[in-house]
């Protein structure tokens, strides 16, 4: 049995080329059907720029949160990591995403790929892990925004009022998802502009004021302090470095989740992912290196709020104000794009029988899957009070498990389905592709390991609960391939 698909009964492209294929009754499970075929055709409204912006905010969203790439190991190691990491992780993952997103351009994304390769049990695990990691990750951004606001008034984060403020920010950030797909897409383009312009000004200003270019040759040592870089043996904080790199570069595969909303996916996905990859690489390289050569405060003191401190020293309240606006826009963009992804992930699973049918419900006017959005928001409300470090370790571990599974599925599909139509195919053999994915998989396994090696056991326990509950629930559902249909048997999307 082949892959599940909510679009098995409809193939559509943008423009004048619209194809509609009616399958036999036996080919389509009622749970996977839409109420209106014309609405499905017209739903594909996301263009290359919108997809690139959504992908950008799912992966990066700006330099904010990346400063510990330098403070964990020093500017020299940070620059090396920024130069190497995209080639060993980002580009391979982006290429796999482009190949399989154009092959199966439907909501649910990598859940479909894993089902195709390993069946419904693992397809459900993939969908659950991806949804949980995305929902957990989204709890970070309202908290970061409130933390930023608290620099002007420290009392606002205290007690219950601080929690209500975070929930209020989360609700405001969710508004684009309530009003429809097109608004989310163009909203992300606008927010990307608001994020990047202040950081371009910041970067140019920091380079112009730089007086410590030697800092680019420094690494963290065992006697490094806040005021002295030290001269002893190297002492790299590997766990922090790798987890920070992963958190700042993770999310390329999320672009596949809303494939059913993308116009002309065979052309849109490769272009959008290429734009996103280049933009993300430049987003970190220039602001971080400029900050290091300006070096006030010094790189060894940098934390999540480093860019605000540097901006204050560099350009006073004017530049700080610009970076504050960019940071709020970054948090908003990452939150909104992530909510968009997790909502359509859940809806895509429901379209193919991997989640309850209630998540198929969409608003009549905006076509928004409002039940999926509501549940995602509820998870954020529950987790929004947790500490940043705890949330990051949890989301990194669960996300790593889902990415390992989808990368293994990509290789298996090359072997078991060599002749399936792939509008875009990574231009290497299956063996070479497997070799390219070896390093990312090894790194992801290490990230999963680190969550169980932390001083606190809470993140490890919660990750273990997700694994156990997901397995038990999938067994209880008694999922079988009869719930799904093969889009390649009935239609092909250009």
Token pair, residue 32, equals: 């996977």
Residue 286: give the domain boundaries.
11-479
33 in a domain, yes or no? yes
488 in a domain, yes or no? no
The answer to whether 220 and 72 are in contact (CB under 8 A) is: yes
395 in a domain, yes or no? yes
493 in a domain, yes or no? no
484 in a domain, yes or no? no
CA 231 to chain centre: 38
pTM of the predicted model, to two decimals? 0.82
Output DSSP code: residue 12. Answer: E
Radius of gyration of the chain, Cα coordinates, nearest whole angstrom? 22
Closest CA to 395 of 99, 23, 58, 38: 58
5 in a domain, yes or no? no
Domain count, the chain: 1
383 in a domain, yes or no? yes
Closest CA to 377 of 169, 231, 86: 169
Each residue's pLDDT expressed in tens, for the chain with a length of 494 residues = 333 333 333 333 334 334 343 443 333 333 343 333 334 445 677 899 999 999 999 999 999 989 999 999 999 999 999 999 999 999 999 999 999 999 988 888 888 899 889 988 999 999 999 988 888 888 888 988 888 888 777 777 777 888 889 999 999 999 888 888 888 888 999 999 999 999 999 999 999 999 889 999 999 988 777 777 778 888 999 988 998 999 899 889 888 888 888 888 889 999 999 999 999 999 999 999 999 999 999 999 998 889 999 999 999 999 999 999 999 999 999 999 999 888 888 888 888 778 888 998 988 888 888 999 999 899 888 888 766 666 677 888 999 999 999 999 999 999 999 988 899 999 999 999 999 999 999 999 999 998 888 778 888 888 999 999 999 988 887 766 655 544 444 344 44
Return d(Cα 347, Cα 357) in angstroms, integer. 9
Return d(Cα 216, Cα 138) in angstroms, integer. 33
Q: What is the CATH number of the domain that holds 190?
A: 1.20.1740.10
Instruction: Supply the pLDDT for residue 411.
Output: 96
Output DSSP code: residue 89. Answer: I
491 in a domain, yes or no? no
Return d(Cα 374, Cα 110) in angstroms, integer. 22
């Amino acid at each position: 049995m082949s892959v599940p698909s909510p679009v098995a009964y409809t193939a559509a492209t943008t423009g004048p080329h619209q194809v509609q294929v009616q399958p036999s009754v036996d080919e389509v499970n009622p749970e996977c059907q839409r109420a209106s075929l014309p609405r499905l055709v017209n739903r594909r409204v996301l263009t290359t720029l919108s997809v690139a912006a959504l992908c950008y905010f799912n992966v990066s969203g700006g330099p904010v949160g990346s400063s510990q790439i330098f403070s964990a190991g020093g500017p020299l190691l940070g620059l090396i990591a920024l130069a190497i990491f995209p080639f060993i992780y980002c580009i391979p993952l982006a290429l796999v995403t482009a190949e399989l997103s154009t092959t199966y351009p439907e909501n649910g994304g990598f859940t479909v790929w894993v089902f195709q390769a390993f069946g419904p049990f693992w397809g459900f695990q993939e969908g659950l892990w991806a949804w949980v990691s995305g929902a957990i990750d989204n709890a970070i951004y309202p908290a970061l925004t409130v933390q930023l606001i608290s620099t002007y008034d420290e009392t606002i984060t205290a007690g219950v009022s601080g929690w209500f403020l975070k929930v209020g920010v989360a609700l405001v950030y969710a508004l684009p998802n309530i009003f429809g797909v097109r608004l989310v897409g163009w909203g992300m383009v606008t927010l990307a502009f608001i994020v990047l312009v202040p950081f371009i000004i910041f970067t140019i200003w920091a380079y112009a004021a730089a007086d410590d270019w030697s800092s680019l040759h420094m690494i963290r040592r065992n006697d490094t302090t806040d005021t002295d870089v030290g001269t002893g043996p190297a002492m790299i904080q590997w766990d922090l470095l790798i987890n920070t790199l992963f958190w700042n570069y993770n999310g390329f595969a999320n672009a596949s989740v809303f494939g059913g909303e993308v116009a002309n996916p065979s052309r849109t996905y490769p272009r959008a992912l290429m734009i996103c990859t280049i933009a993300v690489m430049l987003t970190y390289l220039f602001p971080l290196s400029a900050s290091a050569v300006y070096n006030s405060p010094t790189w060894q003191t940098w934390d999540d709020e480093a860019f605000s401190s540097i901006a204050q020293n560099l350009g006073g309240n004017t530049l700080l104000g610009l970076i504050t606006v960019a940071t709020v826009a970054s948090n908003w963009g990452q939150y909104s794009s992530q909510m968009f992804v997790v909502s359509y992930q859940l809806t895509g699973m429901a379209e193919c029988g991997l989640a309850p049918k209630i998540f198929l419900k969409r608003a009549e006017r905006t076509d928004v899957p409002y039940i999926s959005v509501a549940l995602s928001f509820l998870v954020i409300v529950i987790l929004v009070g947790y500490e940043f470090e705890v949330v990051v370790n949890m989301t990194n571990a669960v996300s790593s498990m889902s990415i390992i599974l989808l990368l293994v599925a990509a290789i298996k599909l090359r072997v078991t389905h060599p002749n399936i139509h792939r509008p875009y195919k990574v231009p290497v053999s299956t063996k070479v592709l497997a070799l390219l994915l070896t390093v990312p998989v090894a790194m992801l396994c290490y990230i999963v390991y680190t969550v169980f090696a932390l001083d606190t056991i809470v993140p490890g326990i919660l990750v273990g609960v997700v694994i156990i509950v997901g397995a038990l629930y999938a067994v209880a559902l008694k999922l079988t391939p009869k719930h799904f249909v093969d889009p390649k048997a009935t239609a092909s999307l250009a």
